[in-house]
Amino acid sequence: AAAFVATGDEARDTAAAQAAGAAGVPVNVMDRPVLCDFIMPAIVRRGDVTVAVSTGGASPTLAQLIRARIESALPERLGDLIALAGQFRAQVNRLVPDMPRRRALWRRVLGQTDLEGARRSILKELDAARSDTAPLGIGHIVGAGPGDPDLLTLRAAQLLQEADAIMHDDLVPPAILARARREAELVSVGKRKGRHSWRQADIEAELVRRVRAGQIVVRLKAGDPFIFGRGGEEVDALRAAGLPVTVVPGITAALGCAASASIPLTHRKLASSVTFLTGHTAEDGGKGETHVVYMGASEAGAVRDRLLAKGFDPATPVAIIENGTRPDQRVTTGALADLARLAVGHSARADAGPSLIVVGAVAALADISNEAILAEAS
């Protein structure tokens, strides 16, 4: 038996605590630690993972504030990952008796962004252990945002604490690098105008070398890795080498700097579109153009017609991304001429989520593996 008292009145709280004590029942009195036989910590649960926060009864409000910060830092799917670890723990202990190697294995597996990715990772690790081959690491192409460390995504902050090595741009400030795991190796590979720096081919080769050697590597880029950040080239290099890679978006400079200056990039009365440009051209002398259409699935036919009227080739690649970044993400790819038909599966369903349409040559690079995984699971 236990007694909980929360009358809010000091005299009544005291009387109730004395009555409980006389009956030999331990008591907890809300916000009155001097009357308590035991205290109740603030709890965060993610499956079998439990984190308790206590201030010794001195400030339950502070405990709740700390709990809220911990809740925001711990991934919602952490419980599923722990359950997966429990399923494979005996096999890992048997096949990987060396403790440092086993710890590195679990860091690689549990650092995955999704449950299916972690499952595939641990199966590969076990296959490597059975054949006594060196385990592969993983590369994370991560956006550091415009410079304020508080604007890092939660996922970026988590990966900085998991990385063996962080290959970072010169533009990434020390305040962000200070969020890295203490033991992580910091490797500056930045490019600065007019200064000797790493060539892109060298960066990609170093990424491949480190991941192949079993390291968890964060390629940390200022802004967003897919907005003038050559993140796509680095993803291509890792994929071509048969190595695992994930991408974590960041707040790109255009968004961060405009918000900092209170400049809305779109405005219902003033501006309905945004174009991102770079001051130099690609090495081949020119670039294609990418159009991103928000909330366009239900108007896909009209979007197609307007673009064709502007002279777009009907064969231009398109991608429709529904519920982007979420576990139920769906991606459909095709040609501009078929956009209306492709969009039916994203707009006709009663449970359809928000969709984004990407038009341009880069749309052909869309990775639809996540959609295939979800289809298999269902």
Residues with catalytic roles: 169, 191
Q: Are 26 and 35 in contact (CB under 8 A)?
A: no
Q: Are 373 and 330 in contact (CB under 8 A)?
A: no
Torsion (CA) 109, 115, 120, 126 in degrees, nearest 10: 40
Distance in angstroms (rounded) separating the CA atoms of residues 308 and 314: 7
Report CA-CA distances (Å) from 67 to 23, 28, 48, 52, 85. 34, 20, 17, 8, 25
Q: Are 325 and 226 in contact (CB under 8 A)?
A: no
Distance in angstroms (rounded) separating the CA atoms of residues 193 and 294: 34
Report CA-CA distances (Å) from 143 to 155, 231, 254, 279, 322. 10, 9, 13, 21, 22
Distance in angstroms (rounded) separating the CA atoms of residues 5 and 69: 28
Distance in angstroms (rounded) separating the CA atoms of residues 319 and 283: 26
Angle between helices 115-130 and 78-95 (to 10 degrees): 0
Quick one: tokens of 150? 């508080």
Q: Is the dihedral of CA 303, 308, 311, 313 positive or negative?
A: positive
Which residue, among 186, 154, 153, has the nearest Cα to 170 in the 3D structure?
186
Which residue, among 282, 305, 311, has the nearest Cα to 293 in the 3D structure?
305
